A and B are shown apart, each in its own frame.
Chain A
Amino acid sequence: MNKNNSRKRSAPPPQPPPPKTKQALSLEEEFVDEDVFIDETLFSEDEESAILRDIEQRQALAARLAKWTRPPLSQEYLSQSRSILFQQLEIDYVIGESDRGLLPNRSGPAAIIRIFGVTKEGHSVCCKVHGFEPYFYISCPPGMRPDDISRFHQVLEARMREANRNSNVRNLVIDVQMVQRRSIMYYQQLESQPFLKIIVALPTMVASCRGILDRGIQLDGLGMKSFMTYESNVLFALRFMIDCNIVGGNWIEIPVGKYKKTTKSLSYCQLEFDCLYSDLISHAPEGEYSKMAPFRILSFDIECAGRKGHFPEPTHDPVIQIANLVTLQGEGQPLIRNVMTLNSCSPIVGVDVMSFDTEEEVLLAWRDFIREVDPDIIIGYNICKFDLPYLIERAATLKIADFPILGRIRNSRVRVKDTTFSSRQYGIRESKEVTVEGRVQFDLLQVMQRDYKLSSYSLNSVSAHFLSEQKEDVHHSIISDLQNGSAETRRRLAVYCLKDAYLPQRLLDKLMFVYNYVEMARVTGVPISFLLSRGQSIKVLSQLLRKAKQKNLVIPNAKQAGSEQGTFEGATVLEARAGFYEKPIATLDFASLYPSIMMAYNLCYCTLVTPENARNLNIPPESVNKTPSGETFVKSNLQKGILPEILEELLAARKRAKADLKEAKDPLEKAVLDGRQLALKISANSVYGFTGATIGQLPCLEISSSVTSYGRQMIEHTKKLVEDKFTTLNGYEHNAEVIYGDTDSVMVQFGASAVDEAMNLGREAAEYISGTFIKPIKLEFEKIYFPYLLISKKRYAGLFWTKPDNFDKMDTKGIETVRRDNCLLVKNLVNDCLHKILIDRDVPGAVQYVKNAISDLLMNRMDLSLLVITKGLTKTGDDYEVKTAHVELAERMRKRDAATAPNVGDRVPYVIIKAAKGAKAYEKSEDPIYVLENNIPIDPHYYLENQISKPILRIFEPILKNASKELLHGDHTRSISISTPSNSGIMRFAKKQYTCIGCKAVLSGGNRTLCSHCKGREAELYCKSVAQVSDLEILFGRLWTQCQECQGSLHQDVLCTSRDCPIFYRRKKAQKDMAEARLQLDRWSF
């Protein structure tokens, strides 16, 4: 949904997002095939037998692991008397000797496609597909006849040989064929032209061959000639999928007799066989084939014992625990729960605890576990950047050579590649790419960052957000202490580790990622792993290639095609008439506006008429559309566009999926269908973005600028129609007024004061205006906002009504302060005010509420946790150019206590404190706990001016005259109370004296409680003191029992230091206040 919004509302290039630097783009968008040679990473036979011996030594463990193996093969499978049907999850290829049995005419190295998957009985499958060869196209030079081809072939082969001297492949260019195709670019009157299809031996050679042709080759009779290549940037695996009609995550069948069991199996899969690519049957994901196989999902988490003051590093710090959880897809409960620990660990109910004496044993046990359980998908939180690379590097440090065999290929080591990820937002980050062959990695952190906009991506806050529960957080400085304790403390750690392994699985279930991602792969036709590791454009490209293949079109490999054209005007936003509307506001929405425009006006690469062609081709004017941005596209009677066709199919499929969803009874089937309709919607919306991405695969700004120009026109058109038609002149009760419009929606005040009346008018308007548009563009009436607070463009709030009797929810846009650098106070204040204004309709109440809050802030009565601001520490202080509050604080904390100071990668919470006059902003940050413990005064004015004032004024300005004066400078801001720090210099010389509880007069003599003047009021003063204690006791009890609940144990002390938890500081403060209030109360005991 998010993606969808951003795409619709911002001008291209929305994908990839602008803040990323070119380096990141090139990483993301450049598709490179990398050939993997089978023997390169394999062990020699000697090594293998050594490993086998090693396994024998640990037979006890093996027996323990054995009960988790996959179900055994039935007789039918063993005797190869049935066809093999499986759901594929991962497709890759290796270079191996081509199979003589299957391909008698070929020899030498060839690309072998490997498809990994699971049958419906739960058997793992490794299907090796032979005979598919890499190829691409070039346009045939004019004048070249079929007899010239063999000459061309020879020249190309020679040039290729020069470039690949070391290759032992006999024929680098296997074949050159003349075929009839047409380029997708621009409207052409000719049906087709001759193209050359160049087939090369290995996938990587496509790139080198392309390079040669780009630079140009010397041809007899034609001279030096360079060629534009077509479809030369398609990844080999994707090429295979497209040509075999395979989409990501679908079911594949190999009939009896068409497959050959591998004699010497190379993988750990139960079914491993060879076949020809032409024998594959790919089933479209419909009916029976829309189901999911029972694949195994492993969720894991590791714990490392870091040194004090350092983030764990694999070269120093041992891996002490690995918790694993295996779930069968579709099952509610995990199949396996276990934890591997270094040193003894007390048992945990329902969990298999495996303890080992050395770290090496732990790591090897985990490797064996992976092999036995044979998971299809590996999930976890931040596994790709932390857990997996850490394990592998740790094994390398310990010199455990045979650890990294985690993939499905026998004896093939896991490869770790360093990749650099760079963006303006996160800075340059080194990260790792770990290839685990045959298993899909699904890092929930990456998914969250991709799919959701959250204020924090820590596992704790993500699970608080989606699962509504807080996660206990053990600081890494405590982990070592727990590890060095007893079997009991290690058990404590193991429970924590298990929970961290369980949460990703629960998130996966809750958010239905498996269904949604598999459906997305099916809809767009790319392998599941692409969805996470690659950008948006590959999904559109995959669909485009598939469609083009059907139409005999080829797609040029012209990245630079549109890049010089610069930018163009984005979507229109009608001027917002800010105000507080107490009459219903009807919202008219264009349903899938951009896709509809592309369909309605037949906008496509192949319908675009270049200005040159427009002059030359003599197309009748009634057969073209001139877009508002000045481009020309032919109408569908001359040439039907591919993009509109793709969109039509996507939207039709979505309609179908939605209809089926209504019918569906089975919850699993529902999940699949819902995932599909969502995937279809997102895909439909990403097509527009693809054409506008200037550094994309096939940008075409003519299309995208036309789309937005039509969009603008439509919004204006709608506004005009509404305001012309719904007038008192035309017999309506009021004059309608368009108060705001954005990209694809228009907000109208019809003037009616009843919700149902406004709804009827809204429906009438939608129907009337839809009639004036070309199909399938449609204006829909969806909802009423009542009341509606419009602040400025893209910022509004209102109650959302879809039925006349009751509102559905409160809807806000742009004012929800999810920004990380805001404190909780702002968010609460804004939310509560909106609640009071919109739902309670109590503006004076909201004003009073703000005043109270400001007064609380100034009087130092504010809950500190509401004032905490957090920022991520991405690098150390020296690397920052500008001094910032959180970095400075981290430095100061390191000087105080290196063990608990935040490290790179941690989030640093801080509050702004009162400091000497003229202190820089960054010097005023302080650790909230330190503030609590030492009574350091916070700086209320900072919060008032830098945090609260803007968002509050934004809300109140449309409602209240003189909002700023009234709210921020009223009487309530007069009294200020500042606490006295207990650690500052001067206080050490101060003499403490008791003051009267009633009037603060200094007490003398033996009096400890009240002065003689207040003596008569002791009952009332006592009531006040005791009421304070009583309130604190309530809070203390609720806070600390909640923490017990989260940690899931009554008998153990709460250790959690999760600073993301909203009650962390409150809990700490309650403890301290409680002690103080009790002391105060004890002064009464006379």
Chain B
Amino acid sequence: MTSNGYECLYLLLPMHASSSSLSTSINKTERVSNSSRQAAMGRIERLQSSYQSLDESFEIGKEMYRGQQYSQIYFARLHLMRTLLYSLVPLWKPNSPVCTVLGLEEGKECVIVGTLFKHMKLKPCILDEYSKERSVVPLVKPHNFVNQDDYLDLEDESGRVKLGGNIIVPSVYVTGIVVAIYGKETGAGDFLVHEVLEAGLPPQIEFPIKSREDRYVVLVSGISVGSSRSNPLQFQLLVDHITGHLGDEKEQSIASQIVRVVIAGNSVEMPRGLLNGQNLASKDLSRMAEPVKELDILLNQIAAALPLDIMPGPCDPANFALPQQALHRCLFPGSSVYNTFRSCTNPHCFELDGIRFLGTSGQNVDDLDKYSEAKDKLDFMERTLRWRHLAPTAPNTLGCYPYTDRDPFFIESCPHVYFVGNQDKYDTRVIKGSEGQSVRLVCVPKFSETGVAVMLNLRDLECHALSFGTQFSP
């Protein structure tokens, strides 16, 4: 299988050589290919890092669909969050009584804790499929369903109350967040909000200070092998760069400091059009698996050189509902033989040299972007941390496994690095928490569209973009 990959590489390069000024890289690749295996072992040693996977809570082992509904996950979430918020209330509103929605009395100021529910006029609804008059003009799918008439309800297991006043802005919040609210019930049965308390950043494990040398993690997403927009050469360049097959010695020495590659979803694009409910001819079936095979060949090269984590995304051959389970090993007959190759869940959580990473393939943030508003994607990420919930819109608008006893998306411990994949552009920021927490937020762009991967330095959590292009403007 491995040799097959290199054959492919040879075929690939001459094809593109004419279209772009890549003469230098061809030379380098040739040189490297001569000494392919020995390169890493030879002059430059690749650095190593300790790695611990924390995906356990996202793994669905023996849990089954047994007719359970979504109420239980909300209940579990409310229970977890309420315990937490109740512990904060004495500091926040020392003298206020804490009520349940049922216990509200008109005019009495109090604190209530509950799950938010946002009523949205524009929210698409499965019942629309059955509406008596199908609209003549097909609905234009808006990318955002926020409307000025949206309003919030607060719900606990005892009941629901409509939230009034202009303190709590519906466009910021989404269904599924648990918050504490201070205010009073008005005569009309509304709850007039005076103040809102969110859980805030969770406690963080201490940042390890021992390391003084640069070590890099490469974050990449949206490779979309098989998509019409993806350029196979572009990713090959990234692979070659990471594996030290590109550039001069200085570049290679930087490459040797890359200790891990994390692929955050959408590595392939399946020809979904083939799956229209009708039976598939075996010819079509094999066409469908074509991109996966190609991906295996590419990953094979990375896995041979350094540790690799691959997360499933919405377009990958994985299940749809969060947490998405690891891509099956049988999809990667070539790369999965390496012990450096790890197929992970989405969301994905791990520690690298004591630095905690948490990331998703982007669904949580994309869904927030549909049902709420913020100035940029990093804002959404920050909010999820402050709400202490990775995917508050699950299960409401984001598919999710119907858990019965827990909510795996509750963020118990604050990560040092929090990334989401498949975003439109690269963006990063550091946010600080009230207890000294510091989190590096990273939007990992779609590689197939931007040619950008992200290098993150484990020493100081500084990040920079790694940009690859095959078309040089004259």
Residues of A within 8 A of B (CB): 333, 337, 346-351, 464-465, 468, 470, 488, 491, 807, 809-810, 824, 831-832, 835, 839, 852, 855-856, 859, 861, 1017-1024, 1026-1027, 1029-1031, 1033-1034, 1036-1042, 1044-1045, 1048-1054, 1062-1063, 1071, 1074-1075, 1078-1079, 1081, 1084
Contact = CB atoms under 8 A, between A and B. Distances in A.
A1030 B189 contact: no
Contacts of B103: 347
Given A1074-B65, A1078-B64, A1031 B127 contact: no
Contact of B399 (A337, A465, A1033): A1033
Given A346-B158, A350-B189, A1052-B157, A1063 B117 contact: no
Q: Which 6 pairs, one residue from A and one from B, show the smallest C-beta to C-beta distance?
A: A350-B189, A1020-B289, A1030-B320, A1037-B399, A1033-B321, A1075-B65
Nearest to A1038: B126
Interface stretch (B33-41, B129-137, B196-204): B129-137
Contact of A1017 (B132, B175, B286): B286
B370 interface: no
Contacts of A1081: 319
A832 B134 CA distance: 9
A13 to B, nearest CB: 31
B5 interface: no
A830 to B, nearest CB: 11
B317 A1027 contact: yes
Interface in B378-412: 395-400, 402
Interface of B: 64-67, 69-71, 74-75, 78, 101-104, 115, 117, 125-127, 129-134, 136, 155-161, 175-176, 185, 188-191, 270, 272, 275, 277-280, 282, 285-286, 288-289, 292-293, 317-321, 328, 330-331, 333, 395-400, 402
B127 A1042 contact: yes
Contacts of B136: 807, 809-810, 835, 839
Contacts of A347: 102-104, 159
A1048 B160 contact: yes
Given A861-B277, A1024-B280, A1084-B328, A1050 B285 contact: no
A1084 B328 CA distance: 8
A433 B396 CA distance: 47
10 contacts: A349-B101, A859-B279, A861-B277, A1017-B289, A1019-B293, A1022-B331, A1027-B317, A1034-B321, A1037-B398, A1050-B70
Contacts of A1048: 160
Nearest to A810: B136
Contacts of A1053: 69, 71
A203 B159 CA distance: 56
A923 to B, nearest CB: 30
Nearest to B186: A350
B277 A1050 contact: no
Contacts of B115: 1050-1051
B102 A1023 contact: no
Contact of A1051 (B75, B317, B398, B402): B75
Interface of A is mostly: helix
B112 to A, nearest CB: 11
A1023 B317 contact: yes
Interface of B: prevailing SS: loop
A1051 B65 contact: no
B286 A1020 contact: yes
Contacts of A1044: 69-71, 396
A1019 B330 contact: yes
Nearest to A1070: B65
Contacts of B191: 349
A1022 B330 contact: yes
A1041 B396 contact: yes
A1051 B74 contact: yes
Given A809-B136, A1044-B70, A1027 B275 contact: yes
Nearest to A1044: B70
A54 B129 CA distance: 56
A1026 B285 contact: no
Given A465-B132, A1019-B289, A1074-B65, 12 more contacts: A337-B189, A347-B102, A347-B104, A807-B136, A810-B136, A824-B130, A1018-B330, A1024-B285, A1026-B317, A1040-B402, A1050-B74, A1051-B71
B278 A855 contact: yes
A1041 B75 CA distance: 15
Contacts of A1052: 71, 157
* Among A333, A349, A855, A1036, residue most surrounded by chain B Cβ atoms (within 10 Å): A349
B278 A1049 contact: no
A824 B188 CA distance: 41
Given A1050-B74, A1051-B115, A1026 B101 contact: no
Nearest to B115: A1050
Q: Find the residue from B71, B101, B275 having the highest chain A CB count within 10 A.
A: B71
Nearest to A1062: B130
A349 B126 contact: no
A464 B131 CA distance: 9
B319 A1026 contact: yes
B402 to A, nearest CB: 8
Contacts of A855: 278
A1040 B69 contact: yes
B278 A1051 contact: no
Given A1020-B289, A1051-B157, A1062 B319 contact: no
Contacts of B131: 468
B318 A1051 contact: no
Contact of A1021 (B67, B132, B285): B285
A861 B275 CA distance: 14
Given A346-B102, A348-B159, A1042-B125, A1034 B399 contact: yes
Given A1023-B288, A1078-B65, A1063 B127 contact: yes
A1020 B271 CA distance: 12
Nearest to A1086: B330
B289 A1050 contact: no
A423 to B, nearest CB: 27
Name the residue in A464, A470, A1050 with the highest tally of chain B Cβ atoms < 10 Å from its Cβ: A1050
Contacts of A1039: 126
B321 A349 contact: no
Nearest to B69: A1053
B288 A831 contact: no
Nearest to A347: B102
Contacts of B126: 1038-1039, 1042, 1063
B289 A1023 contact: yes
Contact of B134 (A835, A1023, A1074, A1078): A835
A47 B212 CA distance: 97
B437 to A, nearest CB: 29
A822 to B, nearest CB: 14
A1062 B65 CA distance: 23
A1075 B66 contact: yes
Contacts of B101: 349
A470 B131 CA distance: 11
Contacts of B270: 1023, 1027
Contacts of B70: 1040-1041, 1044, 1050
A1023 B127 contact: no
Contact of A856 (B65, B277, B318, B395): B277
B379 to A, nearest CB: 25
Given A1040-B70, A1052-B71, A1022 B317 contact: yes
A110 B26 CA distance: 115
Contacts of A1063: 126-127, 130
B364 to A, nearest CB: 14
A1079 B102 CA distance: 42
Nearest to A466: B132
A285 to B, nearest CB: 34
Contacts of A491: 158-159
Residue among B70, B280, B318, B331 with most chain A CB within 10 A:
B70
Contacts of B318: 1026, 1030
Contact of B156 (A468, A1026, A1031, A1051): A1051
